[in-house]
Structure 1
């Protein structure tokens, strides 16, 4: 008799961090492959192979929790934001520290301008200020905007690096800051909660945000709201969208990672295994896999097409889905 039990995916599990994972970022596809950067409260930001999860190195030097760890589009330079009141810039190939930018309070976010030739870095945090550093002139004073209405949580460049998406620690909504004028150009309303995650898809066409209650999808050019997905039964902390697959993924308070259909909102797969809330989820470029980072200190990498492949294998096995589990989870 054919089994009706849905196969369970076994992810790649990346150990190494000793405290919660608070941010993940995949690099674009580079001649050397895809890389995965992770920030953790253990103060040890790490770089991994984005396809295998293998550890490449650790950026060592911070003396406090690291809230943000990102790579520039060429994946040759990294940047980190820390509770030790610094933002630091690193050679992503050697791991050497290139610059340390001192702040007067906790730095929560760093973000590189988009494009291989972009050399600007924005920082934000508990000072309620946005600072933009020119990495070609690191000794120069940064351009400074603010004060913002609340502690800055997330920053993200958009619109040919003329605008910044900014969310806050406790205040709802996303403000769109114009870096040419140094002021807020418009505000994108959330459902009422603070926006904990902002993603601009690698293609540059969509903005994806999570605010505890729902996930919003916006057109990155017009900022028009395309659709919202209300998350029931858990507080959603992070979301990521793969337009190529027409699927999105969410993570939050219930420790589960959910893969959903973009058009219908239907739940396609529930990935279990984390032992704490899921603070961050991100798709790889192209959407073949996605990663989740949790309070439990682990990163897990999941296959987007697992259920489709399992169903095809089950058909070859006479409909026995359970027989397809082994060997498909890696």
Structure 2
């Protein structure tokens, strides 16, 4: 039988959220993991075995998206409270508040140089912001229904967005024009992102499909139908060779993009898997879901040929049935032949590394004081919500302040 090191393994689980975990992201410094939740809070988990966790309080409604800046010195969150916050991941708990959307904000993402933010909202718009100048830059408004997700391409020349109008749109950031629109979704398009090299665009749907287009030819090159319910999130491995997806069917799937097929199905969550994310190095990935848990997995599968792993597996649990549609499109007609089997991994969700981390809450004093926040329109100034003087923490000792340094 294959060594456990050949397959993805559950490293740790993090418990601290009181409602569904909706979003996750790793700090580029490889020391922290951020998660947002329907409990309105941002959590930053220290990956050291005995590290403390930090709960950032400030949003008035569910957190929908989270992302570290490229240098790890800022964390952006979006929320159903119609705001986006930029947090400094330090003991001061300071955050900057953007109030520009008129409906819940579904996603927020940095450009790869860290200079811009892109947000997507139920107000049917995509908006771009300057991080340094702290101001609104421009809006993209051709969607006809809620916009679920928006992302910059690696080179910053393009923005991709998708939403409940069943379209995936591609925008030119220099002309602000929509240069392409993919419309072959039967239901809402739920998530969109570029592969790390910027040559392909992937999107997922509530119809459980995942599609990948080659941006050099604007052709659909891969079409996966491996989940039995809608896909809520996916993430590319930095090598471009793998993709993980999380679904309402309670599973995480791992796809080999070079061979165009499903290779692993992970059963770790009870209930919908809402978010998945690779670390920047690709050695770890996180998943979160309706069970309020964040699971951190070690990748392992990128270190060895999957064919070698399959050959070593003398015994496997019942595999997934072959998908009704072809795993990869177009590669000729589907002949309904038995496909190579995917390995099922059912992990017991138990943290064998450490006890549940101590959680330190930041921002409660400023939050309860209900400080007035000015509305930020397309030309107005940004409101800074300072959370430096935290009564509940008292005097912050130098040792405590050093637990979560700004990178």
Range class of TM-score, shorter chain: 0.7 to 0.9
Q: Highest relative contact order (Cα 8 Å, sep 6+), 1 or 2?
A: 2
Distance in 2 of aligned mates of 1:8 and 1:130: 36
Distance in 1 of aligned mates of 2:194 and 2:50: 23
Structure 2 contact 226–262 (Cα < 8 Å) conserved: no
Once the two structures are overlaid, the 10-residue window that deviates more, 48-57 or 246-255, is 48-57
Higher Cα Rg, which structure = 2
- In structure 1, the partner of 2:16 is 16
The 1:204–1:73 alpha-carbon spacing in structure 2 relative to 1, beyond 3 Å, is farther
- In structure 2, the partner of 1:136 is 132
Distance in 2 of aligned mates of 1:8 and 1:114: 28
Among 191, 204, 224, which residue is 1:197 paired with? 191
Structure 1 contact 106–126 (Cα < 8 Å) conserved: yes
Pairing 1:236–2:234 present: no
Among 87, 90, 115, which residue is 2:87 paired with? 90
How far 1:210 moved relative to its partner?
Answer: 1.4
Distance in 2 of aligned mates of 1:215 and 1:34: 31
How far 1:71 moved relative to its partner?
Answer: 1.4
The structure that is strand-richer by fraction is: 1
Determine helix, strand or coil for the equivalent of 1:196: strand
The 1:230–1:95 alpha-carbon spacing in structure 2 relative to 1, beyond 3 Å, is farther
Once the two structures are overlaid, the 10-residue window that deviates more, 210-219 or 295-304, is 210-219
How far 1:307 moved relative to its partner?
Answer: 11
Among 40, 59, 62, which residue is 1:62 paired with? 59
Cα distance per residue 1:122-150 (max 9 Å; x no partner):
22212222222222222x45423325321
Structure 1 contact 202–285 (Cα < 8 Å) conserved: no
Structure 1 contact 280–294 (Cα < 8 Å) conserved: yes
Among 256, 269, 294, which residue is 2:264 paired with? 269
Aligned length: 312
Cα distance per residue 1:261-316 (max 9 Å; x no partner):
3344444332212111111222223432221111111111222227989x99xx8x
- In structure 2, the partner of 1:251 is 246
RMSD, aligned CA: 3.6
Cα distance per residue 1:55-93 (max 9 Å; x no partner):
542332111111111111111111111122211111134
The 1:130–1:260 alpha-carbon spacing in structure 2 relative to 1, beyond 3 Å, is closer
Structure 1 contact 9–306 (Cα < 8 Å) conserved: no
Distance in 2 of aligned mates of 1:51 and 1:300: 15
Distance in 2 of aligned mates of 1:257 and 1:268: 11
The 1:91–1:186 alpha-carbon spacing in structure 2 relative to 1, beyond 3 Å, is same
Distance in 2 of aligned mates of 1:289 and 1:42: 25
Pairing 1:124–2:125 present: no
Distance in 2 of aligned mates of 1:239 and 1:153: 13
Once the two structures are overlaid, the 10-residue window that deviates more, 280-289 or 13-22, is 280-289
The 1:54–1:248 alpha-carbon spacing in structure 2 relative to 1, beyond 3 Å, is farther
Q: 5+ unaligned residues in a row in structure 1: which ranges?
A: none
Pairing 1:179–2:173 present: yes
TM-score by length of structure 1 reads 0.80
